[in-house]
Structure 1
Amino acid sequence: MTNPMAARMARTSMLCALAALMAACMLAPKRAPRGVDTLVIVHANDMHAQLRPDKQGNGGMARIATIVKSLKAERPDVLALCAGDTVQGDAVSTIFKGSPIFEIANTIGFDASTLGNHEFDYGLEQLAEFRRIAEFPLLCCDILRGKKYIADAPGRIFNVDGVRVGVAGVTTHEDIARKGLTFLPIEAAVREQVEALRPRSDLIVVLSHLGKEKDIELAEAVEGIDVIVGGHSHDAIETPIEAGGALIVQAGARARYAGRLDLAIDLDSGEILSFEGRLIPADAQTVAPDPEAQALIDSWEAKVAETVETIIGQNPQALDTEQTTQALCRIWSEVFGTDFATSFSGSIRGGLPQGELRVRDFYNVLPFDNTMFILQLTRDEAAEFVEGAQFAEDKPLYSVAVNDYNGQQMIERLKLPEERIERTGVNWRDAILEHVKENGSLAPAAAAAR
């Protein structure tokens, strides 16, 4: 039989507990709606140590600094990002192993950068030096050195005038020496960062050095990415690409443009309500060089001017990249006395001008400090790697001059035995410079002597 007194006491206790709970709910402060806010992302990528304007007088890192600083001076809701390959492409970068370029990048006002593949060109110790010099964090979530991330962090949250922006960095695995590094699966590494950053962020940005097509694939594969600020493929994307729920932007290369992406964000839902993206040309007519950046550039240029401004020859006509590659391969073949010479696409970075040839021109087209290999290849092997090879005579092996980076790729692909490999130790640029100095042009020695 139920005890009436016990039942009344239980009912009273339940009512008291319910009343206390309701009172607590009424007293607890409600989270106020945060509403809609704005964010401007200004971005650059693949500047490749473009310290000087191009031949038309446009571009250059000092003008990128002006664009970034002007935007930040105008409004407080600006986040400045760089998508890698800041170094490699100018004599100052090559001679001083990229360090001055990060000093100059400090004057631009970046809040963060990812690593490009060319940040690895000078070795892992020099990459550590870049981290020391940079006054902004370097972010990369997919490459480890030992058990630690190769960069300062895989990702970071930035509070930009009240908007919490989670930024993760990701870097291509292409064209990076693999020794001492562990490469994580890209999609999984990015997904892990998105999931880690999302609970504390209003917006997720992936700062990517993968290239446009890979960025599209990443956006479609990984949920939760709002924006991808890209690099590596040198695409000047005029209007943001929409893919997999993300906006993808990229600003060309060689400090010719900065990109601007304006966003209106519902901070309660995390939804991008509207956006507008465009490229800002770093034109001489509209953008003056930033005085601080330009002064630093001038000081570093002065240190190399005596060497790189020396005139060493003449060029009767301008050569594009393909023509320059053909001319340089012919010189390497002559200098090293080989049947052929070859250089893979991307190794030679541009063409040569008509008229006076300066040392600087060869630093620009041969920015990497490669040395030369001489490989002994069969006819079929040579035909595979030497475009348009003409075999004047039939013999068991043909000698091919090639830079060490491309040469190592050939050795691994063909599984060449050591007796068919000669590592000359001669810098590929020095071989060209000596030839041009001696002959006054790119012409063969015999032709130049006539």
Structure 2
Amino acid sequence: MADRLLVIHTNDLHSRLEAVPHLATAIRSLREGMPDDRVLLVDCGDHMDRMRPETEGTMGRVNVALLNRLGVEAVVPGNNEGLTFLPEALAELYGRQARFRVLCCNLVCRKTGAPPPWMEPAVVVRKAGRSIALIGVTAAFSDFYEPLGWDALDPIDSVRSTVARLRANCDAVIVLSHLGFPLDRRLASEVDGVDVVLGSHTHHLLERPVRFGGAWIGAAGKFGEHVGWMLLTLGGENGGVELEDGGCVESNRYPPEPWVERELGVFREEARRALSGVAVELPAALPVRWDAESPLGNLAADALRRWTGADIGLVNAGQLLDGLPAGPVTFGDIHRVCPSPVNPCRMRIGGNDLLRALEESLLPEFYHMPVRGFGFRGDRLGVLCVSSNVRIEYDDAGSPYGKIRRVAVDGRPLEPERMYDVGTIDMFTFSVGYMSLARGEDKRFYLPEFLRDVLLAGLKEEKGMEECRISRWRKRESEMKEDDG
């Protein structure tokens, strides 16, 4: 006899907590009329995002509390959990506070070669009188996980071996995937024995589940805007798993749940108090611009150079959302101005690639460019801010990629064929914005620090406060005007 199972799935909330009151009502509506043992509610990662003060100020406690109250039964950590929280913080959140299972088959501790006590590769649950295997898998950003003490294993191979271990004793296999749609399709097509893949990471919205290979794939977009669902038939005529119906519902079509709003109010006040401490006293205001160099942008570039011990410091002005006033500056102010969870990075970049990026920084199509993802939580890319040992002379009337007349590093001309150590941010290694910077070599990532930690260190240095007002970009009159003179 066939049994029915309703699977409800969320993903990539990114701490857009204002969506949760509506999302909670949508979930309650979806599960109405179904016994609890025939409903499975899961989250597929990136529920947390430290760009939001509620998550930053509570170190993720607000997210876990909401998942608990919603009745989520299992989650897979996304990169925003795994890469922006130390293992000790995750142990507190997932090991002590969570009332749900934390699943990931391709992350292990470097020291032990095994997952920590609070995380399992998979779990078998009883639903609708059947045994359902749930497997978690996350994006394997190995270069970033290693400094935090993790080994990120090949996701496809890890799922394949986990399925092989569990399949014979289960009626269905469901993968909670934080890999993104391209790898979800590979999972469905290449790994035998998977019935359902619940996706995330690339923020794809599948209004109806799609079939690849032997599995159905579902995904609910981003930011809590939708809730995904699948109604499955288990043990039908063919003895397998069949999709009876499925799709996504828009959460904002549902009224807010009052209990969520009350709980959010409590955590918002807790976060406000936690971030209200004074981080630094500034003798003068530090304005910022995204379309030209500015004191705060310059200070960030200098701070990156010192932090990484590089030849040059480099950062895009779009990372800084506002300036800072004179006087006391709180941790909340630092977070508000620099919310992106991007990490410092040092890499060797050729002089020609640096010059190309600097030329692009003078073009409106670059500094106006909207950027989404890759840790960036701003709006526009912004110009490149450089450290105080760099001087750039340019002719604004010059043609694109021909505006710069001279670049000097430590008083010596930039050498096109030389490799320079550059202290910058990890975002550029993903070919975002100034693409030539991604060709850098010998990359070293500094985790768990964020750019805002480096910025705060720079704000505390008297020398940095003085040097940030020194102009690094010098506009000179066009050669035509010089000739006319």
Whether these two folds match at TM > 0.5 is yes
1:98 to 57, 60, 65: 60
Q: Deviations over 1:52-78 (max 9, x none)?
A: x3xxxxxx1232222223434431111
Aligned to 1:170, the other structure's residue is in SS state strand
Q: Aligned to 1:47, which of 5, 13, 17?
A: 13
Supply the distance in 2 between the matched residues of 1:295 and 1:206 (Cα, whole angstroms).
33
Q: Which has the larger radius of gyration?
A: 1
CA distance in structure 1 between the aligned counterparts of 2:44 and 2:78, rounded to whole angstroms: 7
Equivalent positions of 1:343-358 (< 5 A) are 343=316
- The letter for the 2-side match of 1:113 is V
The farther-off stretch of 127-136 and 380-389 is 380-389
2:42, 2:75 within 8 Å by CA — same for their partners in 1? yes
Offset of residue 300 of structure 1: 0.8
| SS of corresponding position for 2:424 | strand
Q: Which runs of 5+ in 2 are unaligned?
A: 277-284, 306-311, 323-329, 363-391, 394-405, 408-412, 432-436, 461-468, 472-485
Cα offset, 1:297, TM superposition: 1.2
Partner of 2:145: helix, strand, or coil? coil
Give me the whole-angstrom Cα distance separating, in 1, the residues matched to 2:89 and 2:10: 22
Q: 2:424 aligns with which of 388, 392, 402?
A: 402
Cα distance change, pair 388–155 in 1 and its aligned pair in 2 (3 A)? same
Question: In the aligned structure 2, how far is the partner of 1:290 from the partner of 1:424?
Answer: 35
In structure 2, what is the Cα distance between the partners aligned to 1:198 and 1:414? Answer: 43
Distance 1:198 1:341 in 2: 50
Distance in 2, Cα, partners of 1:329 & 1:197: 58
Displacement of 1:365: 8.2
| Aligned with 2:21 (options 45, 62, 79) | 62
Distance 1:288 1:68 in 2: 11
The code of the aligned residue for 2:98 comes to A
2:127 is aligned to 160
Distance 2:245 2:176 in 1: 18
Q: Distance in 1 between matches of 2:293 and 2:98?
A: 36
Structure 1 segments unaligned to the other structure (5+ residues): 1-34, 54-59, 316-322, 353-357, 418-422, 435-443
Could you say what secondary structure the match of 1:63 adopts?
Answer: helix
CA separation in 1, counterparts of 2:207 and 2:238?
Answer: 28
Deviating more after overlay: 406-415 vs 143-152:
406-415
Does structure 1 residue 108 correspond to structure 2 residue 65? no
Please give the TM-score of this superposition, normalised by the length of structure 2: 0.65
8 A contact 2:301–2:314 mirrored in 1 = no
User: Identity over aligned residues, as a percent?
Assistant: 22
1:31-46 to structure 2, matched below 5 A, reads: 35-46=1-12
Q: Provide the residue aligned with 2:42 in structure 1.
A: 81
- Within a 5 Å distance, the mapping from 1:9-24 to structure 2 comes to none
Q: Deviations over 1:131-151 (max 9, x none)?
A: 221110000111111232245
| Alignment match, 2:152 | 183
Alpha-carbon distance, 1:113 to partner: 0.7
Deviation for aligned residue 1:194: 1.3
The letter for the 2-side match of 1:414 is E
Give 1:371 shift.
Answer: 6.8
Residue 389 of structure 2 corresponds to: none
Give the Cα separation in 1 of the matches to 2:40 and 2:135.
Answer: 14
For 1:427, give the aligned amino acid.
Answer: D
Q: Which SS does the other structure have where 1:158 is aligned?
A: strand
Superposed CA deviations along residues 337-360 of structure 1, whole A, max 9, x for unmatched, are: 69873359xx96x989xxxxx998
Indicate the larger mover: 65-74 or 153-162: 65-74
Q: Does 1:238 align with 2:202?
A: no
The count of residues paired between Structure 1 and Structure 2 equals 374
Match of 2:453 among 403, 412, 427: 427
| AA in 2 matched with 1:341 | L
Q: Is the 8 A contact 1:65 1:109 kept in 2?
A: no
Q: Cα RMSD (Å) of the superposition?
A: 4.4
Equivalent positions of 1:407-422 (< 5 A) are 413-415=440-442
**Which of the numbers 224, 228, 232 marks the counterpart of 1:259?**
228
Residue by residue over 1:282-327, the C-alpha shift from the partner in whole angstroms, topping out at 9 and shown as x without a partner, is 11x4232251x32221101122347889xxx9x9xxxxxxx96x67
CA contact (8 A) 2:343 2:450 kept: yes
SS of residue paired to 2:360: coil
The TM-score, its normalising length taken from structure 1, stands at 0.69
Contact 1:69 1:109 in 2 (8 A): no
User: Which of 243, 251, 254 is 1:286 aligned to?
Assistant: 254
Q: 1:371 to 1:115 in 2, by over 3 A?
A: closer
Query: Structure 1 residues 62 and 308, CA, compared in 2 at 3 Å: closer, same or farther?
Result: farther
Alignment check: 8 A CA contact 2:44 2:178 kept: yes
Residue 225 of structure 1 deviates from its aligned partner by 0.6
1:396 alignment partner AA = L
Matched, 1:126 2:89: yes
Where does residue 210 of structure 1 map in the other structure? 179
From 342, 351, 370, the counterpart of 1:379: 351
CA-CA distance at 1:97 after TM superposition: 2.2
**Secondary structure in structure 1 of the residue aligned to 2:249:** strand
